[in-house]
Amino acid sequence: MRGRFALAFTLALAATFGAAAAAERELFPAPGGERARVLIRAAADLAAMRPLIEDFQRLRPDVTVDYHDYVTPQLFEEASNACREDAVYADLLLSSAVDHLVKLANDGCARRFADAARVTVPSWARWRDEVFGFTVEPAVIVYNKTLLDPEMAPSSHHQLAELLRTRADLFRSRVGTYDIRLSGIGYLYAFSDLLQTGTTYGRLLESMGRAGTVLRCCSDQVLDGVASGELLLGYNLLGSYAYGRMKKGAPIGIVLPRDYTLVLARGAMLPKRGAGGEGAAFLDYLLSPRGQKVGREEAFFFSTDGGLPPGVDGPASILGSGAGRPIAIGPALLLTQDRMRRTRFIADWSRSMIDMNIETGD
């Protein structure tokens, strides 16, 4: 059983990284004729970034945007290799796995943003004038509103653990979350969960393991399952992607846990060696009041100072309620990339989330 699982995981890993190597790419030609170009390599869905790219080009119609979308581990690997080889890789890096960007910056792979003094993002969402958060990303619970009574939707981590334990018949193999071995953001959220809850996190992992939780590399795959009804619940997903689905009519309900909600700022970084393009100009736009407004209204939907988007269940204000727990961009995130700590954490997670499924025959 374990051998078959190991082989399946190896094939899944190869398929995931193979797809990432041929990253989704879209070229946005300069509307007014190209005089400059920006090469962006990112772990941020193109659908979410498109409104920002198009608005940037309204301000800079002479700039062509060459956008490549990866999964987080592949982006980190390629950027790290380019840095070690002192090779040109991109004008701007974007990633939801901000611990990856902090590690790159700490390794000397980042270039200081010259206009950092006028950036107004919160202090927890920036580090050393090199890594900046440009979104607010709550980790949410999603559920299928057609198949699950909203009254049953858990409003806390403890309630989720109890629900999976007491209604195992209903939720078996119908809960989804990130496979933290494949997903940088999934790993960061899981690691942060442990820091927030300790023993509660252990009980939640055990409940999810016994429920035969479905593991996926990416938010979209879990959201697809919830929207189709294959899954009833999704855990620790990026709130912006979930809300984007809701706005398009998917039967998805969104809950920000009231005991605590992890809040991530998707990161941006200028590589030490750019491709000679307009990376700083695009970063300046992302962090500007105009870029923040477009991001909040058209792309990522959540903010630190406003209320929740319509139809989202949770505290009236993410941070004002005290439930929001920001994942600060800074040296503390280097702990998540410590090799021994990472190996031990993933092994413990696997014992609960994977070995438990094998033992129960799922």
Closest CA to 241 of 16, 46, 24: 46
Rounded-to-integer distance, Cα 197 and Cα 258, Å: 13
Of the listed ranges 96-105, 149-158, 189-198, the one predicted with least confidence: 189-198
Euclidean distance between the first and the last CA atom of the chain, given in angstroms as a whole number: 11
* Residue-averaged pLDDT of the chain: 89
* Predicted local confidence at residue 120, as pLDDT: 84
Contacts for 27 with CB less than 8 Å, ≥ 6 apart: 64, 65, 66, 67
* Predicted local confidence at residue 98, as pLDDT: 96
**332 Cα distance to chain centroid:** 18
Is the pTM for the entire model greater than 0.75? yes
Amino acid at 258: R
Number of H helices, E strands in the chain: 14, 15
* Predicted local confidence at residue 15, as pLDDT: 43
Average pLDDT over residues 61-76: 96
What's the pLDDT band for 307 if we cut at 50, 70, 90? Answer: confident
Rounded-to-integer distance, Cα 351 and Cα 202, Å: 11
pLDDT in tens, 277-300: 899 999 999 999 999 999 999 999
* Predicted local confidence at residue 14, as pLDDT: 40
Contact present, 46 and 69 (Cβ < 8 Å)? yes
Contact present, 332 and 324 (Cβ < 8 Å)? no
Of the listed ranges 58-72, 229-243, 258-272, 344-358, the one predicted with least confidence: 344-358
pLDDT at position 25 over 90? yes
pLDDT at position 357 over 70? no
Closest CA to 184 of 5, 2, 16: 16
pLDDT at position 272 over 60? yes
* Predicted local confidence at residue 20, as pLDDT: 40
DSSP 259-290: S-EEEE--EEEEESS--SSSHHHHHHHHHSHH
Rounded-to-integer distance, Cα 323 and Cα 301, Å: 18
Average pLDDT over residues 91-116: 95
pLDDT in tens, 202-213: 899 999 999 999
* Predicted local confidence at residue 353, as pLDDT: 86
Task: Provide the percentage of residues in the chain whose pLDDT is more than 70.
Answer: 91
Tokens 């970034």 — which residue? Answer: 49
Rounded-to-integer distance, Cα 345 and Cα 271, Å: 29
Q: Which domains does the chain have, with CATH numbers?
A: 19-136+264-314 (3.40.190.10), 137-263+339-359 (3.40.190.10)
DSSP 178-191: E-TTT-HHHHHHHH
* Predicted local confidence at residue 22, as pLDDT: 57
Rounded-to-integer distance, Cα 217 and Cα 15, Å: 11
